Structure 1
Amino acid sequence: MITSAKNEKIKALRKLHKKKERTETGTFLVEGNHLVEEAWKSNWTIMEVIAQEGVELPKWCEEIQVIFVTEQVFQHVSQTKSPQGIAAVVKIKQAMVDLDNHLLLIDAIQDPGNLGTMIRTADAAGFGGIILGSGTVDLYNDKVVRSTQGSLFHIPIKAAPLDTEIKQLKHNGYTIWATALQNAHNFSETNRNSKVALILGNEGAGVQQVLQEKADNVVKIPIYGEAESLNVSIAAGILMYYIKG
């Protein structure tokens, strides 16, 4: 039982709150019953479980190293307002996206909630994978992980430069769709192919012009009211379900 927040193990766990440490160790923190369970069910490697004293653990934890801590120490490790008393250190997995299915390409999305929601929606829509371009918020940021609601563990996601990925995807028979507000066709008037890679862009700037120019189709969702635009994760949901058709 670890009773002090100054314990070296606790200090190491807190360092995983930062991207630099996650990258160096190849691990990240997952918190809460549902997310820890999803990581285990999806066969991601759980290095260790951190459990608050008195919390009932699932049976599979018997196979894994468990570190028990006091409530005060767990709150020191936790990044949530109401911790459930269970967390896990999970090994980052190198993903291979499915090149026989639709793909979502993310161009510099910076809001963790937006990215997490887009990942969850891509999983629900049956997309084959997600590619994160430069400038995108870290996939293993705790707010991203939480807002995926476990979909992070179900759909392949990799980080790569989008310009080179688009070139390779075209070579593999993909039609590239980019979103824009100007000089774009209504999405519902655009033919759907069996292999579409959909690019969605930064909340403020949208998809970079250089990527729009590489796209086969530039599409928009019509705005019927007074709003200037849709939230990017909502737009992603509409377009992914249309493409999946």
Structure 2
Amino acid sequence: MITSVKNEMVKEWRKLKQKKERDRQEKFMIEGFHLIEEAHKSEWEIVALIHEEHIEIEKSLLQYPLYTVSDNVMAAITETKTPQGIAAVVKKRNVQDSLSNKALLIDEVQDPGNVGTMIRTADAAGFDTVILGKGTVDLYNDKVIRATQGSIFHLNIMQADLIKEMEKLQANGIPIWSTGLAQAKPYQQVEKPDRIAIVVGNEGAGVSKEIMDKASENVVIPIHGKAESLNVSVAAAILMYYVVG
């Protein structure tokens, strides 16, 4: 059993709380039974399974390198206030191909809960790809991962230059809707294509002008009450379910 937070392996695990270290090691940490089960059922590679002594491990998970740790070590490597006593280190996947039938593009959204929720909703709505643009929170941020509820393991997700990815999508005949007010039509008035990419933007500034100018259509969700705007994850959900409905 590993009982010291000064253990070299524990030090490496703790470093995964930092983006620069996740990038360097090309790994990230997940916590809890549900996320580990979703990772196990996917094609992602689990490189270490970490558990406290009293946690019973399912037989299907015994194929992974297994490390037993004390509760103080588990508390040191995890982010949640009440850890479930089990965590895993997962190898990143580098998705290079954004060509898809239905894609969600996220422009400079910085709230991890919003990004994770949008990934989860994209999964639920039957989208196959999510592209995180420059300025968007890191995909492997702990709060993003937890908010996805495992959907991170179900979709093609990449971090890339949105303009370049939009050019690829449009070259393959996929129209792009951008959310915004400038020269925008109410989304219900725009014909729903079979294949589509939807762009949503920063919580305060919205989608950048450069991206809006490049979109096939700019759409707006009407506000019927006195609210100034919709939360970005709610807006994304409305549009994604509209185009698949």
TM-score higher than 0.5: yes
Aligned 8 A contact 1:97 1:157 in 2 = no
| Matched letter for residue 185 of structure 1 | K
What pairs up with 1:180-191 in 2 under 5 angstroms?
A: 180-191=180-191
Task: Output the CA distance in 1 between the equivalents of 2:234 and 2:17.
Answer: 28
Q: What residue in structure 2 maps to residue 109 of structure 1? A: 109
Task: Output the CA distance in 1 between the equivalents of 2:60 and 2:93.
Answer: 21
- Deviation, structure 1 residue 19: 0.5
Q: What residue in structure 2 maps to residue 243 of structure 1? A: 243
Q: What residue in structure 2 maps to residue 94 of structure 1? A: 94
Task: Output the CA distance in 2 between the equivalents of 1:164 and 1:99.
Answer: 12
Inter-CA distance 171–191: structure 2 relative to 1 (3 Å threshold): same
Q: What residue in structure 1 maps to residue 123 of structure 2? A: 123
What pairs up with 1:202-241 in 2 under 5 angstroms?
A: 202-241=202-241
- Deviation, structure 1 residue 97: 5.0
Task: Output the CA distance in 2 between the equivalents of 1:118 and 1:107.
Answer: 12
Q: What residue in structure 2 maps to residue 85 of structure 1? A: 85
| Matched letter for residue 159 of structure 1 | Q
Deviations 1:50-84 (A, max 9, x none): 10121111112221111111111111111001100
Task: Output the CA distance in 1 between the equivalents of 2:146 and 2:97.
Answer: 22
Task: Output the CA distance in 2 between the equivalents of 1:210 and 1:120.
Answer: 27
Q: Does 1:57 align with 2:43?
A: no
| Matched letter for residue 128 of structure 1 | D
Deviations 1:149-190 (A, max 9, x none): 000000110111011111111110011100013431100111
Task: Output the CA distance in 1 between the equivalents of 2:53 and 2:181.
Answer: 53
Task: Output the CA distance in 1 between the equivalents of 2:214 and 2:163.
Answer: 8
- Deviation, structure 1 residue 5: 1.1
CA RMSD after TM alignment: 1.1
Deviations 1:14-39 (A, max 9, x none): 00000001111111001100001100
Q: What residue in structure 2 maps to residue 76 of structure 1? A: 76
Q: What residue in structure 1 maps to residue 3 of structure 2? A: 3
| Matched letter for residue 93 of structure 1 | R
Inter-CA distance 100–71: structure 2 relative to 1 (3 Å threshold): closer
- Deviation, structure 1 residue 43: 2.3
Q: TM-score, normalised by structure 2?
A: 0.97
* Unpaired stretches in structure 2, ≥5 consecutive residues: none
Task: Output the CA distance in 1 between the equivalents of 2:159 and 2:98.
Answer: 14
Aligned 8 A contact 1:109 1:203 in 2 = yes
Q: TM-score, normalised by structure 1?
A: 0.97
* Unpaired stretches in structure 1, ≥5 consecutive residues: none
Task: Output the CA distance in 2 between the equivalents of 1:52 and 1:28.
Answer: 19
Q: What residue in structure 1 maps to residue 163 of structure 2? A: 163
Q: What residue in structure 2 maps to residue 16 of structure 1? A: 16
How much identity, in percent, do the aligned residues show? Answer: 53
Q: What residue in structure 2 maps to residue 137 of structure 1? A: 137
| Matched letter for residue 178 of structure 2 | A
Inter-CA distance 147–70: structure 2 relative to 1 (3 Å threshold): same
Instruction: Give the SS at the match of 1:63.
Output: coil
- Deviation, structure 1 residue 99: 3.0
Task: Output the CA distance in 2 between the equivalents of 1:88 and 1:64.
Answer: 10
- Deviation, structure 1 residue 100: 4.4
Aligned 8 A contact 1:96 1:157 in 2 = no
How many corresponding residue pairs? Answer: 245
Task: Output the CA distance in 2 between the equivalents of 1:30 and 1:99.
Answer: 28
Q: What residue in structure 2 maps to residue 46 of structure 1? A: 46
| Matched letter for residue 138 of structure 2 | D
